[in-house]
């Protein structure tokens, strides 16, 4: 057929519903992520510690195990599965693994699209910047959820089932704290990862940027606290601010002497800065000077 005989024909297929269009970028990112055997192995390894905690929770309710322990250790309580146990025994180790996962996945979420000038192709379609951002963020938030609040709530419900309804009703705050603490941390890691990925196109350097936000911020805060003899320098240490919020949610004494309101202000300011940076960077065009 000659070229002049070809005419424009609009797409007549089925359109993706408006509410689920943000999942289109997520589908391809998930495909790339799970094609890496090393990441799949890491994801499986993230469940080793929760499984160990599940065994630890089950053993005090096993009759045979209790008989052996009572003969050797006496009649004292074996382990108190309270708020401190779920905070320091589950949230802190899994929080470290969540940071490692964000370090592995986050740097490539946006940087690859910017490096290949793919944003004009996205935004030339009925696809907004915030839908694009939600699609990229959905990948990281869903994967982080799989290793934080999902196994945490399963452990909480498992112990509640073994201990009886009375324990579950009396400790609902622990379950709520696991859920809220996890999501606060997930949103912070997600926004930091997306913002750094948008401004640093080289993946290894972007990963170091996420690492540096916590390490450099922690180092600067320690210098300020030591030189000025104050605790307010810890506001620059996002890890300490997370610990303060977590401790208050679980009702456990915090090991950082910073008011809860100041900790929330520091975390919200970090998230707000990330959103401003993303809003400035994610555009359908790039001005070259």
Which residues does 260 contact at the CB level (< 8 Å), separation at least 6?
Answer: 244, 245, 248
Q: Is residue 21 part of a domain?
A: no
- Poorest-confidence range of 12-16, 33-37, 136-140, 244-248? 12-16
Q: Is residue 52 part of a domain?
A: no
For the chain, the domain total comes to 1
**What are the C-alpha distances in Å from 41 to residues 33, 50, 55, 111, 277?**
12, 16, 22, 24, 33
| pTM as predicted | 0.87
Q: Is residue 128 part of a domain?
A: yes
Q: Is residue 121 part of a domain?
A: yes
Using CB atoms within 10 A of its CB, is residue 163 exposed (0-12), middle (13-18) or buried (19+)?
A: middle
* pLDDT interval class at 66 (50, 70, 90): low
Tokens, residue 286: 């790039």
Tokens, residue 3: 């070229």
Q: Is residue 216 part of a domain?
A: yes
Q: Among the ranges 111-115, 161-165, 245-249, which has the highest mean pLDDT value?
A: 245-249
Q: What is the reported pLDDT for 69?
A: 53
Q: What is the reported pLDDT for 1?
A: 47
Q: Is residue 272 part of a domain?
A: yes
Tokens, residue 31: 């495909």
DSSP 8-state symbol, 286: -
**What are the C-alpha distances in Å from 208 to residues 100, 104, 205, 214?**
12, 10, 5, 10
Rounded to an integer, what is the distance from CA 78 to the centroid of its chain?
A: 32
Contact 261, 237 (CB under 8 A): no
Rounded to 10 degrees, what is the CA torsion of 205, 284, 23, 154?
40
The residue to which tokens 């290793």 are assigned? 147
Q: Is residue 19 part of a domain?
A: no
Closest CA to 157 of 46, 50, 77, 251: 50
Domain residues for the domain of 126 are 29-46+80-281
Using CB atoms within 10 A of its CB, is residue 156 exposed (0-12), middle (13-18) or buried (19+)?
A: buried
Supply φ then ψ for residue 177, to 5 degrees: -65, -40
The residue to which tokens 């909480």 are assigned? 156
Q: Is residue 63 part of a domain?
A: no
DSSP 8-state symbol, 8: -
Q: What is the tens place of the pLDDT at every residue in 32-62?
A: 899 999 999 999 999 999 999 999 888 887 7
């Amino acid at each position: 057929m000659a070229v002049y005989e070809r005419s424009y024909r609009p797409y007549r297929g089925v359109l993706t519903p408006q509410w689920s269009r943000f999942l289109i970028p997520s589908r391809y990112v998930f495909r790339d992520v799970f094609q890496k055997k090393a990441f799949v192995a890491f994801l499986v390894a993230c469940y080793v510690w929760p499984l160990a905690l599940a065994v630890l929770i089950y053993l005090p309710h096993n009759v045979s195990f209790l008989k052996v322990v009572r003969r050797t250790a006496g009649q004292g309580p074996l382990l108190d599965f309270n708020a401190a146990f779920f905070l320091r025994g589950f949230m802190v180790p899994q929080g470290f693994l969540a940071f490692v996962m964000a370090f592995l996945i986050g740097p490539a979420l946006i940087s690859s699209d910017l490096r290949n000038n793919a944003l004009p192709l996205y935004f030339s379609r009925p696809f907004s910047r915030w839908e694009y951002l939600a699609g990229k963020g959905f990948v990281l938030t869903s994967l982080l959820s799989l290793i934080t609040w999902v196994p945490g709530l399963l452990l909480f419900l498992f112990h509640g089932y073994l201990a009886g309804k009375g324990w579950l009703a009396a400790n609902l705050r622990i379950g709520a704290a696991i859920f809220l603490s996890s999501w606060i941390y997930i949103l912070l890691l997600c926004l930091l990862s997306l913002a750094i990925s948008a401004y640093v196109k080289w993946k290894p350097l972007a990963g170091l940027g996420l690492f540096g936000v916590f390490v450099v911020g922690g180092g600067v805060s320690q210098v300020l606290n030591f030189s000025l003899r104050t605790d307010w320098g810890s506001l620059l240490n996002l890890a300490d601010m997370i610990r303060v919020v977590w401790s208050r949610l679980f009702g456990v004494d915090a090991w950082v002497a910073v008011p809860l309101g100041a900790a929330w202000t520091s975390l919200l300011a970090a998230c707000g800065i990330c959103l401003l940076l993303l809003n400035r960077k994610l555009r359908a065009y790039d001005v070259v000077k």
